[in-house]
Amino acid sequence: MKYIFLLLLLCNYSYAKNIKDIRFWPSPDNARLTIESNEAIEYKVFKLNNPDRLVIDIFNIDNPDSFEKKFDLKVENNLYVKSIRFGSRNSNTSRIVLDLKQKINKQTFILEPVYDYGFRLVLDLIPSQIVANVLKKIPKKREVFIVAIDAGHGGEDPGAIGLNRTKEKKITLEISKKILKLLESEKKIKGVLIRTGDYYIPLRKRVAKARDFNSDVLLSIHADAFKRRSANGSSVYTLSSKGASSEAARWIAAKENDADLVGGINIDVEDDILKKVLIDLSQDASMIQSNKLASNILKNLGTVNKLHKKKVEQAGFVVLKAPDIPSVLIETAFLSNPKEEKNLNNSAYQLKLAKAIVKGIKKFVNEIEQ
């Protein structure tokens, strides 16, 4: 067994080391356990067989006996983990045991402090045989138009947070599900959700999942915040390879692209998707289609909400970098604006936004079929 020791980046911490939180995030493709501490975490991870278990020992912490009382992680209907148990080995070492339902591969890495998070130990569980997604049964030769709907943020990454603590990840998933529901009544158009629950998906993996679904377009749904609370209105973005079209576009794109720092990915793992998308996007035909789709959606959003900008904006969003899939990012409204935060929490208003987006999609599909 190999011990991994992580040194503190800052030496002036005046408080004792403790575990702030332990979170479990199940998703259709994998499961994630996140352990957050106020200081760098010293740990060991290993597997046990018969039955299959994954064990995490955390060293040099305060009061390890309190783990079981403080962190009660419920695991219900998860494909990979049967239960999570806590126990202490000695006065400063705590043990976490994951009882597994199947053989898994593990990936463990540390995220340094960012925003409100402290040091995080991330343990990803990836099944040896990924359960096939029913959506992959969609034939490649088809008469339906596939719309990939990506609810921004999720899991460790809450996205923007409004003055009344509304989390962007919740709003984007609710609107995305409403878009999906509306598309169910369409004969020529089918929707698929990139994120179906409260878990994080790295930005480039969202693009990869859209491609796996044989998607014709990708919609990335957001409800962002800006440094000025007066900022309001809906916006639609396409990818720019030459810089952002406005101050807000630059600021928002930078925040969205930081999501992987918050949500958590292992930057030491070679990214094959990145290699595939490093092409000259300015010459890609999908850029033209992206702008057509974005214009139609923006026009219809203007019937529900004030438009932040009356034209489609451009910025360097990572999630829009699919060279073969026309992609748009929709900022439904600003959570930093008190009035718009209230609207976004209203289910009827969410449905109005979803209907406007679907109307724009239908117009785009009709145009390209002519």
In order of 89, 227, 340, the CA distances from 230 in angstroms are 54, 9, 10
Q: Is the pLDDT of residue 225 over 60?
A: yes
Query: Which has more pLDDT, 252 or 298?
Result: 298
| pLDDT average, residue stretch 283-304 | 84
CATH number of the domain within which 83 lies:
2.60.40.3500
Q: CB of 163 within 8 A of CB of 338? A: yes
pLDDT at 251: 56
Query: Domain boundary residue among 127, 148, 174?
Result: 127
CATH number of the domain within which 207 lies:
3.40.630.40
| Residue 280: inside a domain | yes
Which helix (H) or strand (E) segment is 210 a member of? helix 203-212
Residue 169 and residue 244 in one domain: yes
Residue 86 and residue 214 in one domain: no
Residue 171 and residue 42 in one domain: no
| pLDDT average, residue stretch 108-126 | 85
Token output for 64: 């390890």
Confidence of residue 309 (pLDDT cuts 50, 70, 90): confident
Query: Which has more pLDDT, 364 or 14?
Result: 364
Alpha helices in 42-97 (DSSP H): 67-70
Query: Domain boundary residue among 127, 150, 168?
Result: 127
pLDDT at 93: 82
For 148-200, how does the pLDDT look when each residue is reduced to its tens digit (9 = 90+)? 999 999 999 999 999 899 999 999 999 999 999 999 999 899 999 999 999 99
Tally of domains within the chain? 2
Query: Which has more pLDDT, 24 or 224?
Result: 24
For 192-203, how does the pLDDT look when each residue is reduced to its tens digit (9 = 90+)? 999 999 999 988
Report the relative pairing of strands 119-127 and 104-111 from DSSP bridges. antiparallel
| Residue 151: inside a domain | yes
| Residue 1: inside a domain | no
| Residue 9: inside a domain | no
Q: What percent of the chain has a predicted confidence (pLDDT) above 70?
A: 75
Whole-number average pLDDT of the chain: 79
| pLDDT average, residue stretch 218-230 | 86
DSSP symbols for 321-343: --TTS-EEEEE---TTSHHHHHH
Residue 121 and residue 149 in one domain: no
pLDDT at 331: 93
pLDDT at 66: 61
In order of 288, 292, 311, the CA distances from 281 in angstroms are 11, 16, 21
pLDDT at 128: 63
Q: Is the pLDDT of residue 273 over 50?
A: no
For 90-107, how does the pLDDT look when each residue is reduced to its tens digit (9 = 90+)? 777 888 999 998 888 888
Residue 225 and residue 111 in one domain: no
pLDDT at 221: 96
pLDDT at 80: 84
Residue 84 and residue 148 in one domain: no
Residue 122 and residue 153 in one domain: no
Residue 201 and residue 300 in one domain: yes
Residue 112 and residue 177 in one domain: no
- Phi, psi angle pair for 234, to nearest 5°: -95, 150
pLDDT at 314: 83
Q: Is the pLDDT of residue 285 over 60?
A: no
pLDDT at 112: 85
Residue 56 and residue 172 in one domain: no
For 46-81, how does the pLDDT look when each residue is reduced to its tens digit (9 = 90+)? 999 889 899 999 888 776 556 666 777 778 777 889
Q: How far apart are CA 204 and CA 50, in angstroms?
A: 36
| pLDDT average, residue stretch 36-41 | 88
pLDDT at 315: 77
pLDDT at 341: 95
For 314-369, how does the pLDDT look when each residue is reduced to its tens digit (9 = 90+)? 877 777 777 678 899 999 999 999 999 999 999 999 999 999 999 999 999 988 77
Q: How far apart are CA 236 and CA 360, in angstroms?
A: 12
Residue 117 and residue 139 in one domain: no
Residue 103 and residue 140 in one domain: no
pLDDT at 260: 61
- By residue range, what is the domain housing residue 117? 19-127
pLDDT at 86: 85
pLDDT at 274: 39
| Residue 160: inside a domain | yes
Dihedral of alpha carbons 61, 65, 69, 75, sign: positive
- Phi, psi angle pair for 369, to nearest 5°: -85, -15
pLDDT at 249: 56
pLDDT at 141: 43
Query: Domain boundary residue among 109, 127, 145?
Result: 127
